[in-house]
Chains A and B, each alone.
Chain A
Amino acid sequence: MIPLLKNPEMNFGAITFFARQHKEDMCGSNGLPLTPNSIIIYGRAQKLKSINSPYLCQYLDIIRGKHERTVVVCQYCGIPLLNYLEKETFTLTDIKRIAYQILQGLNILHKRNIVHRNLSSENVLLQGNVIKMFNYGLYYLTDNGKLVSFPVVQLLYAAPEIYLDGIHNSLPNPAVDIWALGIILAELVLNKKLWNYLKVGQRIRKILSLLQSNTSVFERIAREHNAYDEYTNVPDELKEIIESCLNIDPTKRPTCEDLLKKSIFNEFLIQNGYINNDVKKFETFAISELYHWWQLAGGDVLQELKKQGLIRSSPPILSLPHLVLIEGNILGQERNPATLYDPRIVEMPLDALYQRFENISFSAFYPLIQIKSKIISQSEPQSYDATGLPLIIKERDPEYQFHRIILFRRLLHGYPFTKDLIRKEAEKDIPPLLRGEIWAALLDVKSDYKYRYMKLDKYTLTPTDRQIEVDIPRCHQYNELLSSSEGHKKLKRILKAWVFKNSHYVYWQGLDSLTAPFLYLNFNDEAKAFACLSAFVPKFLHKFFLKDNSAVIEEYLAKFSQLIAFHDPVLANHLYEINFYPQLFAIPWFLTLFSHVFPLHKILHLWDKVLLGNSSFSLHIGLSVLTQLRERLLSSGFNECILLFSDLPEVDIEKCVTLSTETFKVTPISITEREHENDEFRTKDEYDISGVTLHDLKQERYPRISARDVIELIRTNPDKILVIDIRNLIQYNRCSVINSISIPFSSISFTENKIENVGNNSTQLESTKDKVVVVIGDEETDLELFPTFLLRCNVKKVCVLHGGFNVLLPVSPTVLVSQNNIG
C-alpha cells in the first residue's frame, strides 16, 4: 500500500505571510467592523482549491494564524527550473514541452480570470517530464496584492509595464505572465541565470533599459549575456515565440490560446492516440484527501512552520508603538521584518502518516462495492471496525476516515446509479471531507445543476434586497468562510436566485441561516449549494416560505405539542399548565430546521440525519431538545422556561441525534403526518388521516392515528399496541378489534385525574410499557374527554383512531373479532 501513498506527487508544503493590518479598529459604513484582510484572503483563496491541473500545484488549505498571519498549504513536488540552469542542458524538445505545459497551466488560470504575476523559473517545478507551477495564486488571493504590505512581484520576470505603472497600481493583466514566460524560455534556451550578479536596483534598471532596445528584446538579452551564438542557434519558430512574448507592448503579446495553437506544440497535443486528456480519470484518492488524513494522523502545519523558524513569536512589548494619539493614530512603531515576504517553502513530513497507514492492505484502496458472490465477499478483508465509537472519535480516526473516504469516493463516482448504496452508507456516518458531495447525492441533485443556476437572475434589484443585505452580515459570522466578503457575495446571489426562482415563495428571515450550511460545504460550487437548497426546501420545509405560512406553521406546532404529549405526558402537562406554547419558542426551530439555533458544526451532524429522514424528523429533534432540558423545564415556571429558550444552553447534538432517531423509529407515521406535507414525497389514500381542520387540530392535545398504522401495528407488532374500545359493551361484544379492552365511555368519571377510575383495566394502563395506546370510539362517544383524561393521568403514547371504529370495518376483517362468538 505504501507505494500508492508514497507517490512524490502527494507531497505538499506551506508558505506563510502576513495580511495587511487595518490601521485602527475602523468601522465600515454599516457600522460593522471592517473584515480583517486575512479573512478576505481566506475567502478568496477557496476558489484556488478548486483548480485542478497536472501543471499546477494543487492548493490544499488556507490557515489563519495569529496577527493576520496566513498560511497557504499547497502541493509541492519536483525541483525548480532555476536549479537546473547553467548545470544541465535542456534539449529543444524539453524546452518546447516545458513551454507547452506552462502555457497549459497559465491558460487554465487566465480562463478563470486569475493572473499569476509571480511566475519565475524558481516556482516552476520539474519532475520527470512534467512541470508544475507553484504559488500561482498569491497575486489573486491577495486581491492583486492589495491585501498585503509587500509587493507581489518577481523582480526579473516582471514585465516593464509593472514597474512603469507602479507595482501596487497596475491592473491585473494576463499579458504580464506571457512576458514572464518569455524570460523563462530565454533562460532555458540560453541556459543562463539572467543578471544573476546584479543587485535589486540594477536588475530593475536592466529590465527598464529593455524598453529602449532597438533590436528585439530577446536578442538584446542574449547579447548582454554573451550568448549571441546560442541565440542564433534557436530555431526560428521558437525564437519567434520568445520574441512575441517579450514584446514591450503588452497589447501586442500573444495570449496563451494563440501560443498553444503554434505548430511546434503539435507533438504534445496527441498522447496515446487521444487528443488531450480532458476526460477526468478516476483517482483512488486525491492529494486533498491525503492532506486530510495527514492532519488526522497528527500533522500540524503551524507546528512545522514553527519548527523550521518561519513562525517566530516575539515578546509583545517589542511591537509597542512609541506614541498613540487619543484618536487612535499610532506613531513610531518599528516595522516588523516578519511582515515582509518570506519566500521559503516548508515541505511537510509525511512519515507519521506512512507509519500510521503501514498496515492498510493494497486491496483496501479498491473496495468492492457490489458483491454478488459469497466467495468473494468472504475473501474480502474485514472492514475496519469502528461501530459503536462516538461519532466525534470516528471523525478523527485517520484509518477509519481513510476507509470511509475511499469507499464514498467510489460510490460518488458512480452516482446516480449508486444512490441507494450512498444512502445506506450515510446511515452509518458521513465522512466530513466529502459531506458536501454526499449531501448533494442524498438530495438527488441532478447533473445539470450548474446550467440551471446559470440561467437565474441574481442581480436585478428587488424589494427583498434590503432585508437580505442586513441579514447576511449577521448570519453565522463566527465562521471564516461565511464572514469573508466572498462568502457574503455568494450568499446574496444564492438567496436572490432562490427568491427569483420560487416566485410563489418569499424571503423569510431565516432562509439565510438555512442556506449557510450548504454554502459552507460547497463554497467553491455556488450552483451546487443552490441546488441543495432548492431540493431541501420542498422535501423538508414544504410551504414554509409562503407569504402566508401561518396555517403551515400552526399545523407544525400543533403536531409538535401532540408529539410531546405522545412521548412525554408529564412534560406536556407541565408546559400546558404554565401556558408555555411552542409558538413562543419553536418557530425558528422549525422554520430554519435548527440552522438559526445551533452553530454550524452542530447543524452538520444534525442534518446528516435529517437528510435521511422525512419532513417530520425535525419535530423529533425538537422533542429531543426538550428532553435534554426536561428537568429544568419541569422545575420552572413560565418566565424561567422562556428564558431558557431565549438563551439556549449547550445542547449535546449527538444525544439529540440519538434521541430523535429513537423516537422517530417508534412513532407511527400518521402521528406526525400533516395536511401540508408535500404530496410528492408520500402517497395518501382513504385510510390516512385527512379532513381535520386546523382549529380542531389545535384543540386536540393528543394525536390521531390512521387506520393504516393501527392495522399495521396489530399485524406486525401486536405486543406494541393496546387498543381501548370506549363504545358501549353491546357494540364491543358484537364486533371489536382483536385483543382490545373495553372501557365504555359512559362508565368513567373524569372529575379526578386518577387512572383507577377506569376500573378493572387500570393496571393495564398504568404499565403500558411503551405500547401505543389507541383509543377507538364512534360517533356516539366523546373522543376528547377520555384521551385527555389518559394524558392527564400521564399515560404515554395515547392516540385516537381517526374516523372511529367504523373505518376498520371495510378495511380489514382479519383484525376484528366478535366477543359473542367467543363467548
Chain B
Amino acid sequence: MATNRTGTAQRPNGATQGKICQFKLVLLGESAVGKSSLVLRFVKGQFHEYQESTIGAAFLTQTICLDDTTVKFEIWDTAGQERYHSLAPMYYRGAQAAIVVYDITNQDTFGRAKTWVKELQRQASPTIVIALAGNKQDLANKRMVEYEEAQTYADENGLLFMETSAKTAMNVNDIFLAIAKKLPKNEQTTGQGGSAQGRRLAEGDAGAKTAGNCCK
C-alpha cells in the first residue's frame, strides 16, 4: 500500500521506473446530481453541502497509483444545465474517459444520463471509457432509480457502473480507480505532457470556435 502511495517513480534503484499516464476525463450529467461534489471528494477529499453550481466548466487534476503506473487524471467538470450543452463537445472531444452522473433519487436525471451516454457513443472518441455513477447513495431511502435497472443498462452499453456518494465518500475513489484500470496504458507515456494534454483540448476548442457552436 505504502509503495503505491509514494509512486513507482521514486523507487531508489530506478530500474523499474514506472510509467506515467495522463488521461483526460470529463464529467457529464444533469445539474445538481453531484458532479462537482464527486470531483471535489476525489481530488481534495472534501464535501460541501452547498456546492455552488458550475457555470461553463471547472478543471482539476488528481494523480493515483496503479501497480507500476502513475495515472494522472485531468478532469473537466462541466455545467449541468441543458443550455450549456453546446459547450460540452469542447470538453469531451479528445477525452479518454467520461463519468456520466445521475441522482438516484431522481428518475429524470437517469434519463438524461442515458442521453449523455448516447451522445458520447456517437460523438466522442470510439475508445472512450464511460462510467455511469448513480450518486447520492446516502439518500437511498428516497431512491427512485433501482440499482438493478441501472446495472442492466450499464451492462447493455458496456459501461462501468457504481452507485456513489460524494457525501460519505462511498465508491468515489473506486470509480476513478476502476476507470484507470480499464484505460489502456501503453500508448500515453508522457512524462511532462501537462500542456500537451491541455493543447489537445484547446485545439478542439479552436475547432469549436470556428464552427461557432459554443454557448448555443
Select B60's contact among A29, A467, A643, beta carbons within 8 Å: A643
Distance between Cα atoms of A153 and B209 in the complex (Å): 67
> By the criterion CB–CB under 8 Å, are A29 and B213 in contact?
no
> By the criterion CB–CB under 8 Å, are A578 and B195 in contact?
yes
* Contact indicator per residue, chain B 29-68, by CB within 8 Å of chain A (1) or not (0): 0011000000000000000011111011111110000000
User: Which one, A358-366, A469-477, A742-750, is touching chain B?
Assistant: A469-477
Q: Give the chain A neighbours of B194 by CB distance below 8 A.
A: 637-640
> By the criterion CB–CB under 8 Å, are A639 and B55 in contact?
no
Question: B181 at interface (Cβ–Cβ under 8 A)?
Answer: no
Residue of B nearest to A548 (CB): B216
Select A581's contact among B57, B202, B215, beta carbons within 8 Å: B202
CB distance from A701 to the nearest CB of B (A): 13
Q: Which of A6-62 contact B (CB under 8 A)?
A: 27, 29, 31-33
CB distance from B80 to the nearest CB of A (A): 8
Contact A596-B55, Cβ < 8 Å, known A506-B83, A578-B198, A639-B74: yes
Residue of A nearest to B51 (CB): A474
Distance between Cα atoms of A56 and B26 in the complex (Å): 59
Select B199's contact among A471, A591, A638, A640, beta carbons within 8 Å: A638
Q: Give the chain B neighbours of A640 by CB distance below 8 A.
A: 194
Residue of A nearest to B142 (CB): A29
Question: A510 at interface (Cβ–Cβ under 8 A)?
Answer: yes
Question: B81 at interface (Cβ–Cβ under 8 A)?
Answer: yes
Contact A550-B50, Cβ < 8 Å, known A509-B31, A643-B60: no
Question: B71 at interface (Cβ–Cβ under 8 A)?
Answer: no
User: Which one, A261-269, A338-346, A384-392, A582-590, is touching chain B?
Assistant: A582-590
> By the criterion CB–CB under 8 Å, are B53 and A509 in contact?
yes
* Contact indicator per residue, chain A 577-618, by CB within 8 Å of chain B (1) or not (0): 011110111011001100010000000000000000000000
Select B56's contact among A470, A550, A580, A588, beta carbons within 8 Å: A588
CB distance from A303 to the nearest CB of B (A): 31
Residue of B nearest to A473 (CB): B50
Residue of B nearest to A638 (CB): B198
> By the criterion CB–CB under 8 Å, are B214 and A583 in contact?
yes
* Contact indicator per residue, chain A 273-284, by CB within 8 Å of chain B (1) or not (0): 000000000000
Q: Give the chain A neighbours of B79 by CB distance below 8 A.
A: 509
Distance between Cα atoms of A700 and B3 in the complex (Å): 51
> By the criterion CB–CB under 8 Å, are B55 and A510 in contact?
yes
Q: Give the chain A neighbours of B105 by CB distance below 8 A.
A: 31
> By the criterion CB–CB under 8 Å, are B215 and A549 in contact?
yes
Select B138's contact among A31, A581, A583, A638, beta carbons within 8 Å: A31
Question: B151 at interface (Cβ–Cβ under 8 A)?
Answer: no
Q: Give the chain B neighbours of A646 by CB distance below 8 A.
A: 58-60, 77
> By the criterion CB–CB under 8 Å, are A583 and B50 in contact?
no
* Contact indicator per residue, chain B 136-151, by CB within 8 Å of chain A (1) or not (0): 1011001000000000
Question: A553 at interface (Cβ–Cβ under 8 A)?
Answer: yes
Question: B119 at interface (Cβ–Cβ under 8 A)?
Answer: no
> By the criterion CB–CB under 8 Å, are B52 and A474 in contact?
yes
> By the criterion CB–CB under 8 Å, are B215 and A554 in contact?
yes
Q: Give the chain B neighbours of A33 by CB distance below 8 A.
A: 49
Select A467's contact among B81, B86, B199, B216, beta carbons within 8 Å: B81
Question: A651 at interface (Cβ–Cβ under 8 A)?
Answer: no
Question: A434 at interface (Cβ–Cβ under 8 A)?
Answer: no
Interface size on B, residues (CB 8 A): 46
> By the criterion CB–CB under 8 Å, are A580 and B55 in contact?
no
Q: Give the chain A neighbours of B59 by CB distance below 8 A.
A: 584, 639, 642-643, 645-646
CB distance from B196 to the nearest CB of A (A): 9
CB distance from B91 to the nearest CB of A (A): 9
* Contact indicator per residue, chain A 131-169, by CB within 8 Å of chain B (1) or not (0): 000000000000000000000000000000000000000
Question: A404 at interface (Cβ–Cβ under 8 A)?
Answer: no
Give the tally of cross-chain contacts (CB within 8 A).
128
Q: Give the chain A neighbours of B81 by CB distance below 8 A.
A: 467, 508-509
Q: Which of B60-102 contact A (CB under 8 A)?
A: 60-61, 74, 77, 79-81, 83-84, 86, 90
Contact A554-B212, Cβ < 8 Å, known A578-B198, A579-B199, A584-B57: yes
CB distance from A21 to the nearest CB of B (A): 18
Residue of A nearest to B194 (CB): A639
CB distance from A462 to the nearest CB of B (A): 14
Q: Which of B161-215 contact A (CB under 8 A)?
A: 167, 194-195, 197-199, 202-203, 205-206, 209-210, 212-215
Q: Give the chain A neighbours of B197 by CB distance below 8 A.
A: 638-639
Residue of B nearest to A637 (CB): B195
Distance between Cα atoms of A471 and B203 in the complex (Å): 32
* Contact indicator per residue, chain A 552-595, by CB within 8 Å of chain B (1) or not (0): 01100000000000000000000000111101110110011000
CB distance from A504 to the nearest CB of B (A): 15
Q: Give the chain A neighbours of B202 by CB distance below 8 A.
A: 579-581, 584, 638
Q: Give the chain A neighbours of B199 by CB distance below 8 A.
A: 578-579, 638
Question: A694 at interface (Cβ–Cβ under 8 A)?
Answer: yes
Residue of A nearest to B81 (CB): A509
Q: Give the chain A neighbours of B216 by CB distance below 8 A.
A: 548, 550
Residue of A nearest to B74 (CB): A639
> By the criterion CB–CB under 8 Å, are B83 and A584 in contact?
no
Q: Give the chain A neighbours of B58 by CB distance below 8 A.
A: 646
Q: Give the chain B neighbours of A193 by CB distance below 8 A.
A: none
Q: Give the chain B neighbours of A551 by CB distance below 8 A.
A: 212
Distance between Cα atoms of A463 and B41 in the complex (Å): 31
Distance between Cα atoms of A695 and B195 in the complex (Å): 26
Q: Give the chain B neighbours of A647 by CB distance below 8 A.
A: 60
Distance between Cα atoms of A647 and B206 in the complex (Å): 24
CB distance from A284 to the nearest CB of B (A): 42
> By the criterion CB–CB under 8 Å, are A587 and B83 in contact?
no
Q: Give the chain B neighbours of A720 by CB distance below 8 A.
A: none
Distance between Cα atoms of A646 and B53 in the complex (Å): 13
Q: Give the chain A neighbours of B108 by CB distance below 8 A.
A: 466
Residue of A nearest to B203 (CB): A579
Which 8 A-B pairs give the minimum distances between C-beta atoms? A638-B198, A579-B202, A470-B32, A588-B55, A477-B50, A587-B56, A550-B215, A637-B195
Q: Can you name 24 A-B residue pairings with CB atoms under 8 Å? A: A474-B32, A474-B50, A474-B53, A509-B53, A509-B55, A509-B81, A550-B213, A550-B214, A578-B198, A579-B206, A584-B56, A584-B202, A587-B56, A587-B215, A588-B55, A637-B194, A637-B195, A637-B198, A638-B197, A638-B198, A639-B59, A646-B77, A647-B60, A694-B212
